[in-house]
Amino acid sequence: MADHPDFEASAKPIAASVEASSLGDQLATIRLALATSPIRKQLLWACLGIVAVIVATSIGQVLLNRWNEPFYDALARRDMQGFLHQLLVFSAIAGGLVVLNVGQTWLDQTIRLKLREALTVDLIGEWMRPARAFRLANAGAIGVNPDQRLQQDAGHLSDLSTGLGIGLLQSFILLVSFVGVLWSLSSGFVFHVGGYSLAIPGYMVWAAILYAGTASWLSWLVGRPLIRFNSDRYTREAELRSSVVRVNENVDAIALAHGEADARRRLELDLGTVLGAMRRIYSAQINLSWVTDTYGWITVVAPILVAAPVYFAGDISFGGLMMAVGAFNQVHSSLRWFINNIGGIADWRATLMRVADFRIALAETDVLHHSERRIEFGENPDGRLTFDKLEIASRDGCTKLAEPHVEIRAGERVMITGDPRAGKTLFFRAIAGLWPWGSGRIGMPAGEVPAFVPRKPYFPLGTLREVLDHADAAVSDAEISAVLAEVGLGRLSSSLDRSARWERELSDDEQRLLAFARLVLRQPKWVIIDEALDTFDGATLRRVLSMLEARLADAAILNIGRGQQNIEFFPRSLAIVKDVERPALKPVRVRAGAIEPPPAVAKAHQQA
């Protein structure tokens, strides 16, 4: 994809679009995903439940703080009866708080689970819309390693959002609850300096705000680079995992080529980038620890130091001092939520960016598809397949049929050939609607859905029976066994209910034979084949064509191949040509900063 300047130029705005997305855009995207989720009501009720629990917990915390004064005063007076009474009060308050804490834990886990379900189901649904995954894969860096964004990033974002969100809500409610308590306690604080008395309204509230605000500002200043470092780490981790999977899927080829050393070197390079990213994160975390740990230790004595002048002046009792210290700690704890979670906030910001930008890119691919100059698709009510002045944009010219107007009727069998660089697979993808860029018109037979047979068939995970008839009405075992025998795979008749990775258990030719068996079981009226017949030897090809002749006698079959014609089965032939003199169609920008259409799809063209 990167070997042609025109395609490099059109790929770059994709990354620019992702980088330009704002926090507001990203939050709006996630909000849309949750608002349209089928489990949004369950998620909403869980959120309302945890708000109620946190409010109840805050009330308990206020009661517990008020308990400090009579308890410590009873200790100061050595009042045993008062001491025992306060222990009973403490037991009642603490017991209620334990129940609330357990309920909060359950709701916390429920929200994490439901949030992940909602996000992941939404991303899978958006990704698996017709042809989107194909378009995104050819849209630049944003389409690389979607598995990490769907699985790891969505799960991590759910955990971080739940943990940080509940913590922030809890801190806010505690702050509201204790600011009033601390303000009222501060009203009795009078400073005596040089014979003068000075009262500062809300003295301890202002002290807590100043103390926590300074710490928050320093923490953000030191911890902000973690956003960029975490995002980079997730990208490197995805590249390492992709390399490991690629090696695992090609171990036989690597062993035959004695390529273990090269594979190991590639894996070690990818690992090195991951370790480098982690070192940057750890270095930033160490710098952040200097700030947070320093403030953490100062906090042990800070509230006592703030209230000490009033206590030593005799204006408050020891119990009053402990009550003020407790309220100060609660207010300060709420205010320093940002300090305690700066690392998590940076991680959340980086993960939100990856998940939201992925979903934004999915939507942008549709904008491209419907905005760029493209091939016109229509339906022919008389049941014909037509190509009118069809030109398919490619990296080095236009792929087209030698005849400007082509008409194929139901039941016809047509062989479509071309030179190796003519763009036969590009032509196949254009008919399927996967490659819409170009000009001209493709008229599909009205009411018919053609069956497309690519060179490399796809088999879903599951039993062989599901592989063969998962998309249509079930067929009998006898019918399946008969078709398998006709293509030379009769041995698989006993494995219909066995689950396996069939693309690994079968050779390439066997996979194509299984694909043709699946094809005839579905009985399509139109079949379009992309070089899937070209690799068969003479006997196998005759067997497959004989089965198609018998079982799809009325179907129209178009075989796009390298020219190995069977004149008896394909009496008509067409030619694909490449017009290298005609320049590729130029892209049209959708909007400033948006993803541009990917004639950067050179990757797919090269495969053709």
The Cα–Cα gap between 402 and 578 comes to 9
pLDDT in tens, 121-148: 888 888 877 777 776 766 555 656 677 7
| Res. 427: pLDDT tops 60 | yes
pLDDT in tens, 356-386: 888 887 777 665 555 456 788 899 998 899 9
Q: Which of 432, 511, 531, 524 lies closest to 467, judged by CA?
A: 511
The Cα–Cα gap between 222 and 291 comes to 8
What kind and span of H or E run contains 405? strand 405-408
SS3 414: strand
Q: How many CB atoms lie within 10 A of CB 285?
A: 17
The Cα–Cα gap between 602 and 584 comes to 11
* Cα-Cα-Cα-Cα dihedral sign, residues 6, 11, 13, 16: negative
Residue pair 310/191 in contact (Cβ under 8 Å)? The answer is yes
The Cα–Cα gap between 457 and 503 comes to 9
Q: What is the DSSP letter of 491?
A: G
Phi and psi, residue 529, nearest 5°? -115, 135
Q: Which of 443, 524, 519 lies closest to 486, judged by CA?
A: 519
Query: Whole-model pTM?
Result: 0.58
| Res. 65: pLDDT tops 90 | no
Whose structure tokens read 């300047």? 5
Q: Which segments of 445-579 does DSSP mark as H helices, in order?
A: 464-469, 477-486, 502-505, 508-522, 538-551
Q: Which of 570, 546, 544 lies closest to 557, judged by CA?
A: 570
Which of the two residues, 219 and 536, has the higher pLDDT score? 536
* Cα-Cα-Cα-Cα dihedral sign, residues 540, 542, 543, 547: positive
pLDDT at 598: 37
Which of the two residues, 162 and 568, has the higher pLDDT score? 162
- Give the burial class of 22: count Cβ atoms within 10 A of its Cβ; 0-12 exposed, 13-18 middle, 19 or more buried: exposed
Residue pair 347/225 in contact (Cβ under 8 Å)? The answer is no
Q: 196-200, 391-395, 603-607 — which is least confidently predicted?
A: 603-607
**What's the Rg (C-alpha) of the chain?**
34
SS3 559: strand
Q: Do the bridges between strand 462-463 and strand 451-453 make them parallel or antiparallel, or are there none, so unpaired?
A: unpaired
pLDDT in tens, 567-605: 788 889 899 988 766 645 444 333 323 333 333 333 333
| Res. 557: pLDDT tops 90 | yes
- For 511-521, what is the mean pLDDT? 91
Compute CA 42 distance to the chain's CA centroid, rounded to the nearest angstrom: 22
Whose structure tokens read 């008969």? 482
**Who contacts 325 (Cβ-Cβ below 8 Å, separation ≥6)?**
303, 304, 307
